[in-house]
């Protein structure tokens, strides 16, 4: 018999270590039964263009993400017998990201001092075997720095491990 979460609500506390290309540590805290606030500290991929040398380099930037998520389908997933453990549900959210322009593992830094993105996103999060966490979200956002501003697509993917949970 499968052990499933029987509460139609978010976890009180969830700490995850995200792996793959952009490692990070993420803490997700319940605000209401259907909403959470997520704080994530890590790195993200980016590019730097050098117009003089006509080259583009892939670099890593330190980032801080603060996200608000509204999980809307806990009850429906439970009625279908699906897992809702560790916030395994779909959500609408507001994703906010702050990136420092000082790159990691590179001698190149962009002209910007920082870059901020504010985006509306739709996402899903699933946890398998009580520990393996998968999150995918996409949307559109507004990005700005001290020298530029732009409208941009937002796509985030993380694969991580649940380090600590309190339901």
Look-up of token digits 């990136």:
99
CA–CA separation, 8 and 110 (whole Å) = 45
Q: In terms of Cα–Cα distance, which of 42, 147, 155 is closest to 98?
A: 42
pLDDT at 4 over 60: no
Least confident segment among 28-42, 44-58, 146-160: 44-58
Domains of the chain, CATH where assigned: 13-166 (2.40.160.20)
The pLDDT score that the predictor gives to residue 66 is 97
Dump strand ranges (E) for the chain. 13-18, 24-30, 35-50, 55-71, 89-100, 114-128, 132-145, 149-166
Reported pTM: 0.85
Burial class (CB in 10 A: 0-12, 13-18, 19+), 138: middle
76 φ/ψ angles, rounded to the nearest 5 degrees: -65, -40
Average predicted confidence (pLDDT) for the chain: 87
Nearest alpha carbon to residue 162 among 130, 137, 135:
130
**Predicted local distance difference test score (pLDDT) of residue 139:** 98
Instruction: Kindly tell me the sign of the dihedral angle through the C-alpha atoms of 97, 23, 140, 146.
Output: positive
Q: Could you tell me if 114 and 145 are in contact, meaning their C-beta atoms sit under 8 angstroms apart?
A: yes
Average pLDDT rounded to a whole number, residues 51-77: 87
Query: Tokens 């962009």 identify what position?
Result: 110
Say yes or no to pLDDT of 112 above 80. no
Percent pLDDT > 70 in the chain is 90
Read off the pLDDT band of 132 (50, 70, 90).
very high
The per-residue pLDDT for 152 is 95
How far is C-alpha 86 from the chain's CA centre? 15
**Which pLDDT score is estimated for 25?**
97
For residues 54-75, give the mean pLDDT.
89
DSSP 8-state symbol, 104: B
pLDDT digits (tens, 9 = 90+) for 14-47: 999 998 777 999 999 999 999 999 999 998 877 7
Token pair for 93: 């959210």
């Amino acid at each position: 018999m499968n052990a499933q979460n029987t509460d139609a609500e978010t976890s009180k506390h969830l700490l995850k270590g995200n792996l793959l290309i952009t490692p990070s540590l993420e803490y997700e805290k319940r605000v209401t039964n259907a909403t959470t606030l997520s704080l994530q500290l890590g790195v993200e991929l980016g590019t730097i263009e050098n117009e003089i040398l006509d080259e583009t380099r892939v670099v890593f930037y330190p980032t801080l993400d603060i996200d608000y998520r509204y999980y809307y389908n806990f009850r429906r997933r439970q009625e279908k017998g699906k897992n809702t453990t560790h916030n395994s549900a779909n959500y609408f959210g507001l994703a906010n990201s702050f990136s420092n322009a000082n790159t990691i593992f590179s001698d190149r830094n962009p002209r910007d001092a920082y870059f901020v993105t504010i985006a509306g996103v739709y996402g899903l999060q699933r946890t398998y075997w009580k520990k393996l966490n998968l999150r995918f979200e996409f949307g559109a956002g507004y990005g700005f720095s001290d020298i530029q501003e732009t409208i941009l697509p937002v796509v985030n993917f993380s694969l991580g491990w649940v380090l600590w949970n309190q339901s």
